[in-house]
Structure 1
Amino acid sequence: MGKGWFAREKEVEIEIHYVDINPTAEKTLLLVHGWPAVWSSWRNQILEFESTHRLIIPTLRGFGNSTSPADTEGSTGLADFGNDLVCVLEDAGVEGAVCVGHDWGSAICFDTAAEHPSKITALANSAVPYFPPGPFFFSPAQIATRYPTLSYQVYLTNDRYLAARELNARPRELINGLLAEVGMENPPPSNPLADTKTILGVWRDQPIADQKLVSKVEEEYWVDAFKKSGFESTIAVYQVKNRKRSVDIASRRKTHVINIPALYINPTEDALGNLRPTFGPMIEKIPNLEIKDMATNHWPQLEKPEEYNAYLKEFLANL
């Protein structure tokens, strides 16, 4: 485990748990999960790359066995997660790694590459593109007016404690509801990501179908992890204070260009909606970017692991 700290402000002691596989390998992949997930969401990639690469797979601060500062609203921005990743790499004795991220993990990898360019040698991200800071800050409510499928973030922001209570009471249903394949059986009456007042409530009295992306043993591990941490600390990253802080820190950088090889896997059937119209800044600021489309929902590494792994393997072979 490593230690994280309060980015650019003051040191605090937290514990970041991580898995370290094949530590004698020459090249390292740093696999970074998103929400609501845990480190083992990379199981298919672990099986594919464990013999060829060193794999370092952290559990993000506030998730499962990784702790977080008491003041999560002031210490759960992208730079804080990035500092945690740097700590993990230093604790493992790794000078640089390819950062492979999904969802918030993607945003964290992009931000860490911009803030700590000597630590990240290449990027392979999916589901959340790179958003370099612009001249204006947009709140989740403002973003949701343009992208209604991101309305759940308004709920997680404005009703954080209510949301945490809802999710803490029903972690298995959240996992089953959001680990949904394209064409899932028994879909909810409306998109659970497009509601500003609830996530699980959109199913009303309708049962949530069992997910098919991870085994029941794996599902139990996820449930236990969220029971241990609770959801309050895991949704702190959505809070306006943390978002503004992330933008403020990023805005102080001399450049927002990321001059390393990068792969972005775009899930074209994502329940979050079509994000391709937002790719302009990412394409402009990452000159060595390759984009691959995958016909999956939000979880390409779980839904079509063979295709995902093939894209990642090809990208790594060309580094």
Structure 2
Amino acid sequence: MGFLSNIVQVVTTWVIASFYGSLVLFYVVLRIIRRGPRAFFGYKVRQGRPKCLDDPEQGTHGYVRLKSSGLRFHYVAAGERDKPLMLCLHGFPECWYSWRHQLKEFRNSYRVVAPDLRGYGETESPQPFGYWGWPNFSVSHLTNDVQELIEALGYSSCTLVAHDWGGIIAWLFAVDHPDLVDKLIVMNAPHPGTFMKYMRTHFSQFRRSWYVFFYQLPWLPENMVKAFDFQLIYGAFKGKGMGCKRRDAVTEEDLEAFKYTFARPGVNISAAINYYRAMLKQPPRSYKGTKVTCPTLMIWGDQDAALEVGLTEGTDKFVPDFTLKMVPGASHWVQQDQPEVVNGIMRDWLKA
């Protein structure tokens, strides 16, 4: 029965992915007709680093090599080494730089460390590269990276702060390694136990999650990320629907920093997309009876165009010590859109 259900899941996923892929191809053809093939394929490789990535006010850059995978992880750290660890996990399409406001804010109380996740930025990506490398981005690999990263940084536990894809990793890490998480702060990332049930019963969320299925296709998603000189990244942060609601929340230089993550020489764009591929290609996990035992704060921008506010409902069933704080008028990129509000919420909750 389990084998049959897996076959049905695979076939269903590919049918939906192909449907969205055909829509995207139609959109691409129209854009090529209007702007020309040179515009579509005319992305540029960024040879020079944006200066904001090396701003000493953000912190200092460092590298550690993890034991089991052998991958070299890049991170930026602010605060003294004798302070407790605050580990910040970013989402897609981001990098460590999405935590620039929190690195400055909490450096006096914590050793704040924002790594590039596996395959992002200056952190190495496992081989094989490309579509067929998706098994190396399973949740078990990603949570193991966090475990080894905490150890490599010289700590036995941390306050774990996460957003978007980092939030998915953080939820599962807190379930599987309760002894390593003192406190958990998750931003605009639903608990996995609520996400699939909500999407099955709310077609509006299913439509918003179209990209999860689209990313299951080979080749096309990678080219869409690069198309029109990484227009996807511009749209994510500054577009009318998905983008930050504050115009100055992400500057042109900030935007170049995120583009550089995917456009620097030798980068493996497939790595970031393989997170989504591995998520749907592996058997679903049951969360019945699982609990996050540490105190947990969820911060949610209520103008998130990708994830509905309703996804926050029912989280307390999995988290006994749970606090939910809405940020009115904030987008999906809540910690960048309204950093002062988010930092204030974090600061008050951590003190309490």
Give the TM-score, by structure 1 length. 0.79
> Identity of paired residues, percent?
24
2:304 to 270, 273, 278: 270
Equivalent residue number for residue 31 of structure 2: none
Do structure 1's residue 237 and structure 2's residue 296 form an aligned pair? no
Equivalent residue number for residue 305 of structure 1: 339
The alignment partner of 1:62 has SS state of: coil
What pairs up with 1:223-302 in 2 under 5 angstroms? 223-228=259-264, 229-239=267-277, 241-245=278-282, 247-248=284-285, 251=286, 256-277=290-311, 279-280=313-314, 282-295=315-328, 296-302=330-336
Unaligned runs of 5+ in 1: 6-10, 194-209
1:70 to 116, 119, 127: 127
CA distance in 2, matches of 1:254, 1:155: 29
1:162 to 196, 200, 220: 220
Structure 1 residues 287-316: Cα deviation after superposition (integer angstroms, max 9, x where no partner): 001000112110111111111000000111
Aligned positions, number: 280
- Change in Cα spacing, 1:76 to 1:171, as seen in structure 2 (3 Å) is farther
- Change in Cα spacing, 1:88 to 1:273, as seen in structure 2 (3 Å) is closer
The alpha-carbon deviation at position 145 of structure 1 amounts to 7.2
RMSD: 2.8
The alpha-carbon deviation at position 220 of structure 1 amounts to 2.0
Structure 1 residues 238-263: Cα deviation after superposition (integer angstroms, max 9, x where no partner): 11x44454744xx4x89510111000
What pairs up with 1:6-155 in 2 under 5 angstroms? 11-71=68-128, 72-132=133-193, 147-155=206-214
2:256 to 193, 215, 220: 220
- Change in Cα spacing, 1:99 to 1:247, as seen in structure 2 (3 Å) is farther
CA distance in 1, matches of 2:70, 2:157: 24
Structure 1 residues 166-204: Cα deviation after superposition (integer angstroms, max 9, x where no partner): 212445422221113xxx6xx3xxx689xxxxxxxxxxx
The alpha-carbon deviation at position 41 of structure 1 amounts to 0.7
Structure label with greater radius of gyration: 2
- Change in Cα spacing, 1:176 to 1:290, as seen in structure 2 (3 Å) is same
Structure holding more helix per residue: 2
Structure 1 residues 108-135: Cα deviation after superposition (integer angstroms, max 9, x where no partner): 111111111111111111111112389x
The alpha-carbon deviation at position 48 of structure 1 amounts to 0.9
Amino acid at match of 1:163: P
The alignment partner of 1:291 has SS state of: strand
216-225 or 106-115, which deviates more: 216-225
Structure 1 residues 130-175: Cα deviation after superposition (integer angstroms, max 9, x where no partner): 12389xx88x999877521111111112x24111012124454222
- Change in Cα spacing, 1:179 to 1:255, as seen in structure 2 (3 Å) is same
- Change in Cα spacing, 1:173 to 1:145, as seen in structure 2 (3 Å) is same
Structure 1 residues 11-52: Cα deviation after superposition (integer angstroms, max 9, x where no partner): 432221112222334222101100010101111111111122
- Change in Cα spacing, 1:117 to 1:13, as seen in structure 2 (3 Å) is same
The alignment partner of 2:193 has SS state of: coil
Amino acid at match of 2:302: T
CA distance in 1, matches of 2:202, 2:134: 20
Equivalent residue number for residue 236 of structure 2: 178
Preserved contact between residue 257 and residue 286 of structure 1 (Cα < 8 Å): yes
The alpha-carbon deviation at position 276 of structure 1 amounts to 1.8
CA distance in 2, matches of 1:143, 1:155: 19
Structure 1 residues 212-254: Cα deviation after superposition (integer angstroms, max 9, x where no partner): 3223333222211111324211010111x44454744xx4x89
Give the TM-score, by structure 2 length. 0.72
CA distance in 2, matches of 1:123, 1:14: 25
- Change in Cα spacing, 1:211 to 1:63, as seen in structure 2 (3 Å) is farther
Unaligned runs of 5+ in 2: 1-62
The alpha-carbon deviation at position 89 of structure 1 amounts to 1.1
CA distance in 1, matches of 2:102, 2:222: 30
Structure 1 residues 45-70: Cα deviation after superposition (integer angstroms, max 9, x where no partner): 11111122111111011111112222
The alpha-carbon deviation at position 278 of structure 1 amounts to 5.4
